[in-house]
Structure 1
Amino acid sequence: MINVGEYNTLKVIRKSTPGVYLDDGAEGILLPNRAVPENTRVGDEIKVFVYHDSDNRLIATTETPRAVVGDNVRLKVVSVTPQGAFLDWGLMKDLFVPKSQQLSFMRLGGEYLVHLYIDRQTGRVAATEKIESFLSNDPLTVKENDEVSLTVYRPSDMGYVVIINGIHTGLLYNDEVFQTLSPGDKLDGFVRKIREDGKLDVVAGKRGYEKVGGEAGRILRMLEDNGGYLPLNDKSDPEDIYRMLGMSKKTFKMTTGALYKQQKIIFTQTGIQILGEGD
């Protein structure tokens, strides 16, 4: 069985001028020459991504798309027609978003968070901005303190609604966010609380930093989100510290001093650097 819009491992059944054909239980799926691995022989098995070409024929590629069916991803619009928009997803044939599946008027060059699905009428991979119907917290597949992957979905009055592990929704509160976020941004996090109504509260960053709490936890999570380094020290302008961390310079100096004594950070000439367990 061939899974369109996903990776399949298929056997080479014959070679031809345009490429090699892969076993689909029928006439075969073409893997064009440009994507055929060197020294491929009949009988070899190749991992390929399967989708439809411009003539609505199944075609295989060894190229890696930016997303597969079921993924939620931010993609750029490369062309717009009266019927819909086309997104760059890393393959020669662009990904179609029907006009009926757009929540806003997609513009050329804009980037939008979409969900990839199989269109029932055509059998093709398509994209939609109407992600809500693909998300549910019933049943839940996570529990409190589980580490999860987060995708920013949309802003809310209290913070950001995020997609958890691609299937659930949760809330990332404003006071837990120390950077500017946009729909489609990817973060690592963990489940802080599961509410009685099944709603989830999440925190960005590694679970260990939650235990630190307060301003120290804020600095450590911000470090984690920025590759382990922040260009702030005791000589930094108070406005820069407040803009980045939401705290006064006095609080920053006291907190970083405590983190230094706990051997969680070091001071550099230009900022502060997080220390790992092996440092």
Structure 2
Amino acid sequence: MIALGKYNTLIIDRDTRVGLFLADPEGEEILLPVKYRPETFEIGDALEVFCYLDHEERPVATTLTPGITRDSFAALRVAEVNDYGAFLEWGLEKHLLVPFREQATPLRKGQTCVVYCYLDPKSSRLVASTRLDRFLDNRDVRLEPLQEVAILVYRETNLGYEVVVNNRHKGLVYRDQVFRDLQIGDSLMGYVQKIREDQKLDISLEPMGHRKLEPAAARIYEELKRAGGKLPFHDGSSPEDIQARFKMSKKLFKKGIGILYRERRIELGPDGISLRKTH
């Protein structure tokens, strides 16, 4: 059976003026419009395509890459809002609908939001929702403390940042453990800090094998990692340049690199600071 909202590996069954008809092992067919037809092919070749409903609600296949697939979470931009709801850009010709009933708070044009994509059982259409809590499941958490996980930032609260963990669970990064700029929609790696008795997950942005750094040192360390491991800053750098890059005074900067150097996390050179290769 051809699965809408997912990638399908299908066989080229026949070539027509409107495109290729692809079939699954049960003989169900779907059209790959002519504009997506590969330059070279033979009847019987296998193609991996994404399947969804077009503007006329007809099942079609595409070789375009969507920004989200069914039963998953992703950050997408709102293209427009009209009487039906909000429509998201997701890399395909037809935008993805977030009905008003599926909006935790009203969406606006140009906003980036994290959504869950699912197949509406009533209409058989792909829709998205920002009411994420009902799609996150912490009843059966099969993770271990210190384990590296994929996280997606979806909401900021007084405590910190709520994140989707491994496309399934809900986690929290506490505000006092964030030493970098985080934005809604950021996708990055984190680490399981603690699994609570109620199965709630505390997530850290740093490997737990590292001792928690003093804030100034942590910010410098994060900036180094984001810059690929090396930055042209040292004792002779101007206070203005340091403030612009690290959002701290030169005094705090010198304190931070002193801590990192003593912990053997960085190396100091005449042209700047760099991460030690062992870290």
TM-score range, shorter chain: 0.7 to 0.9
Matched, 1:71 2:65: no
1:114 aligned residue? 115
CA distance in 2, matches of 1:43, 1:160: 49
- Residue 55 of structure 2 is matched in structure 1 by 54
Residue 247 of structure 2 aligns to a residue whose secondary structure is helix
Cα shift at 1:22: 0.4
Alignment match, 2:176: 175
Q: Displacement, 1:263?
A: 6.3
Whole-angstrom CA distance in 2 between matches of 1:93 and 1:66: 12
How much has 1:153 moved relative to structure 2? 1.8
TM-score, L = length of structure 2: 0.87
Alignment partner of 2:253 out of 240, 249, 265: 249
Deviation at 1:277, TM superposition (A): 4.5
1:189-208 correspondence to structure 2 within 5 Å: 189-205=190-206, 207=207
Q: Does 1:3 align with 2:7?
A: no
* Partner deviation per Cα, 1:35-75 (whole Å, 9 max, x = no partner): 12221111000000000111111100111111111222121
Tell me how far apart the structure 1 counterparts of residues 213 and 278 of structure 2 sit (CA, whole Å). 21
CA displacement at 1:177 relative to structure 2 = 1.4
Q: How does 1:95-174 map to 2 (within 5 A)?
A: 95-174=96-175
CA distance in 2, matches of 1:204, 1:268: 30
Q: d(CA) in 2 for partners of 1:232 and 1:174? A: 27
| 1:15 corresponds to | 15
Indicate the SS of the match to 1:254. helix
The answer (yes or no) to whether the contact 2:192–2:203 under 8 Å persists in 1 is yes
Q: Could you tell me how far apart the structure 2 residues matched to 1:126 and 1:97 are?
A: 6
Partner of 2:213: 214
- Report percent identity of matched pairs: 37
Give the C-alpha shift of residue 268 in structure 1.
6.1
* Conserved 8 A contact 1:87-1:94: yes
* Residue 92 of structure 2 is aligned to residue 88 of structure 1: no
Q: Distance in 1 between matches of 2:82 and 2:98?
A: 10
Q: Which amino acid aligns with 2:6?
A: E
Instruction: Report deviation, 1:27.
Output: 5.6
* Letter paired with 1:79: E
The answer to whether the 8 A contact 2:2-2:28 is kept is no
Taking a change above 3 Å as real, the CA distance of residues 144 and 244 of structure 1, as seen in their structure-2 partners, is farther
Q: What is the distance in 1 between the residues matched to 2:110 and 2:143?
A: 36
Root-mean-square deviation over aligned CA pairs: 2.6
Question: What amino acid does structure 2 have at the position aligned with 1:51?
Answer: Y
Q: What does the per-residue CA deviation read over 1:166-193, in whole Å, with 9 as the maximum and x for residues that have no partner?
A: 1111121223212222221111111111
* Pairwise CA distance, 1:108: 1.8
Counterparts of 1:89 and 1:255, CA distance in 2: 44
- Deviation of residue 264 (structure 1)? 3.7
In structure 1, distance between residues paired with 2:203 and 2:231: 23
Task: Tell me, in whole angstroms, the C-alpha distance in 2 between the residues paired with 1:139 and 1:16.
Answer: 49
* Residues 101/10 of structure 1: CA separation in 2 closer, same or farther (3 Å cut): same
- Contact 1:176 1:218 (8 Å CA) reproduced: no
Question: Structure 2: which 5+ runs fail to align?
Answer: none
Q: Could you state the TM-score of these two structures normalised by the residue count of structure 1?
A: 0.87
- Equivalent pair of 1:229/1:273 in contact (CA under 8 Å): yes
Residue-pair matches, total: 273
Deviation at 1:105, TM superposition (A): 2.1
Deviation at residue 222 of structure 1 after TM alignment: 4.4
What's the CA shift for 1:85?
1.4
**Residue 96 of structure 2 aligns to which amino acid in structure 1?**
L
